[in-house]
Structure 1
Amino acid sequence: MHSTNKPAIPILLFIAIVAISFSAIFVKWSTAPAAVIAMYRLLITCAGMLPFLFAYRHELTRVQASDWIKLIISGIGLGFHFLFWMDSLRYTTVASSTAILTLEPVFVMLGSLWLFKQGLSRAAFMSMIVAICGAILIGWGDFKFSGAALKGDLLSLLGTLCVVIHILLGKSLRADMSAFVYSFFVFLFAGIVLAGYNLFQGYSFTAYAANEWGIFLLLAIVPTVFGHYLFNWLLKYMKATSVSMSVLGEPLGATILAYFLLGEMITPIQIAAGCLLLVGVALFIRSQNKPLAQPANSSLIS
């Protein structure tokens, strides 16, 4: 794809949402520690991207020291997001954990108002509320306020706060940095942080069955490359709040996948809530559908 146009953006958003919806399923299938899963998810992705990094050598020479600091912090935010959120799936359901992620666009909106002075129309605000209510209702029946489930919900909330830092810094960096360079180093720094955490915890780096390595690879390809990388790329052409709102499709997609692949039940309330969520997200994106200035030539590896 050599140019970006409005019809292409919804298609790419849909692909990214479906891709990240598989993340919770793959994590549930694995028995490895959450930090190990997250580390290999990121480092395998970087290994696949590394052969293409040479093509961006001239851009790397132009990266300022302040931008490297932002990249490191963004990577730390992403790493701890994966750590907290993946660990939450050990204690609570897919529906509950992913529904808590719906607080993300609220925090991103507040951060965007402060950092980027991005306004929000009344229609956009109301559609955001509709979508968030729908997403919360998806997980409402699974929310627990005591025991292990509460721990899982709190871990998901911490993961949400961490990914907000990642998205806001990404929006700032993507103004002048290609999606490839930004994604590669953010994934790399996040993976390094998680590797240090795993060393500190004494987790094994190698003692995993073949199916576990297959899950690590699937996580690197599906939700990371076709999910997070696409969202990073879209930050150039959409407001940070709009990209964050699009992620609200994950609770619906993950809940549907959990029904078919994990046997987690879907209630009539969750079906109605899913419809409400989709309406809210669609209305929000429509109200915000004014892409930022586009470069003359761009591609998925731009």
Structure 2
Amino acid sequence: MLAEAGLLLLAVVGISFSAPLAAAAAVPSLAIAFWRTAMASVVLAPVVGARPDRRRVGARDTRTCALAGVLLAVHFGTWVPSLVLTSVATSTALVCTAPLWTAVLTRVRGGPVAGAEWAGVAVALAGVLLVAGVDLAGSPRALLGDALALVGGLAMAGYLLVGAAARERLATSTYTLLCYATAALVLLAVVVVAGVPLAGWPAAGWLSLVAITLCGQFLGHSLLNRALRTVGAPVVAVVSLLEVPGAALVAALWLGERLAPGTLVGLVVLLGGVALVVRGSRRA
């Protein structure tokens, strides 16, 4: 359990750097969404290919991974653009409403959600709002960013739930490769239709893409995917809420974004909510 907690903490560190890196990169948002999944797929392909036992995937699992990939593409295709429309803290806070949608979708599908988990989600979301200081009375540009981040949060919830089902039968590397590759193909189609360039920026832009892929995909999403089998989608979704204070702190120190006054209070509330969910899931 301690090893699993350590990997989840490392995943939180990875995704905490993802949003500030994407916001600072001199690369179009949809291009970032495509390249982070495409680069990760290229690295994972030989890893999976070298293991014969991981190449065997049934039709059902292929469909499940494809659905997860489409949902991941929607998540990145809406959330990454929101980072340049509203603040990193607000965008991250709104996309991290995923635990609420995860609990709702789990219940809709007939799955069990303990009362302590519902309470933990509510407390954690209150902490998210305090940390980010979300203000929905902003400009039309900021409101569009807020709306995109919310859609990204809903897509993230679906991605985690579908991924949890796939991870019951597939190795992490196999599932992750199929999911990332599908997301890359979907995003490539969107990029082509939208006429977004996929190259032509300076070396610093490519370095940003490599850093985003390393932090966001390999340290972040890949480790979260690994945890889906052992702790489940609701717990993974709530633990990922720790990205909110992490991203806000990185953005404040690196990009000069102002931290909301309630950040420290919100962090304590957020941690309390995470603890409630983890405790509730153990009793369920």
Could you state the TM-score of these two structures normalised by the residue count of structure 2?
Answer: 0.95
Check if 1:258 corresponds to 2:251: yes
Q: Where does 1:50-61 land on structure 2 (aligned, <5 Å)?
A: 50-61=45-56
The reply to whether residue 196 of structure 1 matches residue 192 of structure 2 is no
1:66 to 48, 56, 60: 60
- Partner deviation per Cα, 1:152-202 (whole Å, 9 max, x = no partner): 000101111212221111011110111100001101110111111111112
Give per-residue Cα distances to partners, 1:221-271, cap 9 Å, x unaligned: 111101100000000101210111111111111011111011011133122
Shift of the alpha carbon at 1:110? 1.9
For residue 262 of structure 2, what is the aligned residue in structure 1? 269
The answer as to whether partners of 2:26 and 2:201 remain within 8 angstroms in 1 is no
Summarize the alignment of residues 154-193 of structure 1 with structure 2, pairs less than 5 Å apart: 154-193=147-186
Work out whether residues 102 and 136 of structure 1, in 8 Å CA contact, stay in contact via their aligned partners in 2: no
Residue 94 of structure 1: which of 85, 88, 91 is its match? 88
User: Partner residue of 1:13?
Assistant: 8
Which of 34, 58, 70 aligns to 1:76? It is: 70
Deviations 1:124-160 (A, max 9, x none): 2222211110102222354434411100000101111
1:297 aligned partner: none
Q: In 2, distance between residues paired with 1:114 and 1:125?
A: 14
Task: Report how far residue 289 of structure 1 moved.
Answer: 3.5
Partner of 1:283, secondary structure, is helix
Check conservation: 1:18, 1:253, Cα contact below 8 A: yes
Q: Could you say what the CA RMSD is over the residues aligned between the two structures, in angstroms?
A: 1.6
- The 3-state SS of whatever aligns with 1:205 is coil
Q: Which residue of 2 aligns with 1:106?
A: 100
Amino acid at match of 1:47: V
Q: Secondary structure at the match of 1:31?
A: coil
Percentage of identical aligned residues: 29
Q: Does 1:85 align with 2:74?
A: no
Query: CA deviation digits over 1:86-120, x for unaligned, max 9?
Result: 100111001111111232111111222333x4323
Name the amino acid aligned to 1:129.
A
1:231 aligns with 2:224: yes
2:273 corresponds to 1:286 = no
Tell me, in whole angstroms, the C-alpha distance in 2 between the residues paired with 1:128 and 1:276.
11
* 1:28 maps to 2:13: no
Which structure is higher in helix share?
Answer: 2
Give the aligned partner of residue 208 of structure 1: 201
Separation in 2, partners of 1:142, 1:56: 49
What SS class does the counterpart of residue 111 from structure 1 fall into? Answer: helix
Give the AA of the match of 2:210: L
What residue in structure 2 maps to residue 298 of structure 1? none
The Cα shift of 1:205 comes to 2.0
For residue 72 of structure 1, report the CA deviation from its aligned partner: 1.2
Distance 1:200 1:268 in 2: 42
TM-score, scaled relative to structure 1: 0.89
Matched pairs, number: 284
- Counterpart Cα distance in 1 of 2:128 and 2:48: 38
1:42–1:191 Cα contact (<8 Å) kept: yes
Q: Indicate the residue corresponding to 1:41 in structure 2.
A: 36
How far apart are residue 68 of structure 1 and its match?
A: 1.2
Letter in 1 for 2:246: G
C-alpha contact 2:248 2:259 (8 A) present in aligned 1: yes
Stretch of structure 1 that moved more, 142-151 or 236-245: 142-151
2:236 counterpart residue number: 243
Kept in 2: contact 1:93–1:142 (CA 8 A): no
The Cα of 1:38 is off from its aligned counterpart by 1.0
Q: Distance in 2 between matches of 1:150 and 1:176?
A: 40
In the alignment, structure 1 segments of 5+ residues that lack a partner are: 1-5, 292-302
Q: Secondary structure at the match of 2:196?
A: coil
Question: Counterparts of 2:280 and 2:8 in 1: how far apart (Å)?
Answer: 16
Amino acid at match of 1:18: V
Q: What is the Cα deviation at residue 77 of structure 1?
A: 0.8
